[in-house]
Homo-oligomer: A and B are copies of this chain.
């Protein structure tokens, strides 16, 4: 059976596994710690030792390509460029992978990989125009137009998380101020909580936990229990996200916007205010047309599926032959 290898390089762990063309579940997965390897070469050596062993035990698998998702992964150059959270910040990944395997290889960033997985296996099946929003520590996005991933002129398109939504707003890791991801993300939720503690003077168990220790999950748990302060955090977050998505929709007129990632576990607590402010701020010609939905992907496997699907797409388009 033909499979691709999907590799997702994260700041903490690198996960990988075999991906069939039609199945939404991986055939085999494994992981290693990203930070334990000083260079990309060493990281891939360790990955491929485990992959080769796995292949050795599975005569039925025929590896036909390798897809990689990584922060600042550039589809055009095949490289990771200036990735702030990786020990090596730059590396030509396609070249390194090809030094181990003479197979088609492609790389893109993690949000684009999620969009590709969503299109092939998830909620965007059959859609030609949609936006995938990944909500985790930060906010990533992958844009699909006319059934194709938008890489832009340099391979780095899709940085909706770094659009400025408040001039002179919150300081972002990118060095600028007011980026969307400083408001809408796990960290954004915590920062909004602090702002509301300062401005609203409400009673809440959340006022007893220091900023460094609070998690987005705790805010979610309190909101579920009806805590007004925690509920207000989701209302404010949904408002900022809803307006940002209405702006994106005005430019791109997508069929749907799909929310993916850890934060989406909050369900309607996040989706309901997001949809409300989205519709309210949408230009009339788009009203009632654009769905905001939760991802249909399994969070544990989605990153691997996305990377694996990336190279399936390449192989099927004949680009790598």
Binding site for B on A (CB under 8 A): 72, 81-82, 127-129, 141, 143, 145-146, 148, 150-160, 162-164, 167, 174-176, 243, 246-248, 250-255, 281, 283-286, 289-290
Q: Chain A interface secondary structure, helix, strand, loop or mixed?
A: loop
* Chain B residues with CB below 8 A from A253, complex form: 151-159
In order of increasing CB-CB distance, the 4 nearest A-B pairs are A152-B253, A157-B253, A163-B247, A153-B255
Decide: A81 and B156 in contact? CB cutoff 8 A: no
Bound: A174/B281 CA distance, A:
11
**Listed A/B pairs (9) with beta-carbon separation below 8 Å:** A82-B284, A129-B152, A141-B251, A151-B253, A155-B253, A156-B253, A157-B253, A176-B281, A248-B251
Contacts known (A156-B285, A156-B286); A252 close to B162, Cβ less than 8 A = no
* Chain B residues with CB below 8 A from A143, complex form: 251-252
* Chain B residues with CB below 8 A from A162, complex form: 250, 283
* Chain B residues with CB below 8 A from A246, complex form: 163-164
Bound: A129/B167 CA distance, A:
27
Among residues of B, the one whose C-beta sits closest to the C-beta of A247 is B163
* Chain B residues with CB below 8 A from A158, complex form: 251, 253
Q: How far is the CB of A123 from chain B (nearest CB, A)?
A: 15
Bound: A173/B55 CA distance, A:
63
Among residues of B, the one whose C-beta sits closest to the C-beta of A84 is B284
Q: How far is the CB of A76 from chain B (nearest CB, A)?
A: 10
Contacts known (A81-B285, A151-B253, A155-B253); A243 close to B167, Cβ less than 8 A = yes
Decide: A285 and B82 in contact? CB cutoff 8 A: yes
Contacts known (A153-B255, A174-B283); A160 close to B289, Cβ less than 8 A = no
Decide: A164 and B285 in contact? CB cutoff 8 A: no
Contacts known (A163-B250, A250-B160); A128 close to B153, Cβ less than 8 A = yes
Among residues of B, the one whose C-beta sits closest to the C-beta of A157 is B253
